[in-house]
Amino acid sequence: MKVLVIEDDRSTADYVTGGLKEEGHDPDHAASGPIGLELACTRDYDAMVIDRMLPGLDGLSIVRALRSSGRDTPVIFLTSVSGLDDRVEGLEAGADDYLVKPFAFSELMARLNALARRSPMRREEAVLKVGDLEMNLIARTVRREGQSVDLQPREFRLLEYMMRNRGRVLTRTMLLERVWDFHFDPRTNVVETHVSRLRGKVDRPFSTEMIKTIRGSGYVLNVPA
């Protein structure tokens, strides 16, 4: 899932985005209300996690603005504002769920998955297909030629990025930034190691290869000729 986290507390934001990445999801983070609203209005997300108390623009105003503009992306309020009236106000503003701090990441993840399953557009958004390779973003499953492919969370995220960019040469730097969130070169072979493992699961058991190395440039995933 592509998830927007609008949270000004750095430790909470790191906890949520870090957990989402470990589960193989793709989070964006905004530390203020205005930046969060801009991202929410200009990019497509499968779900949003929004704090109520934010600098510049509060969470209620963000959700009301989204609903007024016709955007129906599922929203969970994640906040320390815990009164009954506060929860009712948040839901009436247009939020789909309300989780009070402190919280367990496992519960937040379960609620996000439940919202994704209820989304009326989930089939179109949740399934990626490239040739005989199919990825279900909600069920977190991968199949090729009808056979199940068991991937670790980081392998899943790597393959998702490749499938979303089918036919495009992806450089090592691009993969480090989008899959590992490294905005510098750690001087390790982490990309090469994970691509090799991914090939061992997605390509080698089958008759044709989909992941190609472009010498001196990077990697590309495409339908076999």
Total Cβ atoms within 10 A of residue 158: 26
Total Cβ atoms within 10 A of residue 39: 17
Task: Return d(Cα 154, Cα 152) in angstroms, integer.
Answer: 6
Residue 19: DSSP 8-state: H
Prediction pTM value: 0.61
Which domains are present in the chain? 2-120 (3.40.50.2300), 124-221 (1.10.10.10)
Instruction: Quickly list H helices, the chain.
Output: 10-22, 33-42, 59-68, 84-93, 105-118, 122-126, 153-164, 172-179, 190-202
Q: Tens place of pLDDT for every residue, the chain, 225 residues? A: 889 999 999 999 999 999 998 888 889 999 999 999 999 998 888 899 999 999 999 999 999 999 998 888 899 999 888 888 888 999 999 999 999 999 999 999 999 988 877 665 444 457 899 999 999 987 889 999 999 999 998 899 999 999 989 999 999 999 988 888 787 777 789 999 999 999 999 999 998 999 999 988 999 998 876
Helix axis angle, 172-179 to 190-202, nearest 10°: 90
Contact 42, 69 (CB under 8 A): no
pLDDT at 123: 45
Number of alpha carbons in the 13 Å side-chain half-sphere of residue 170: 25
pLDDT at 122: 46
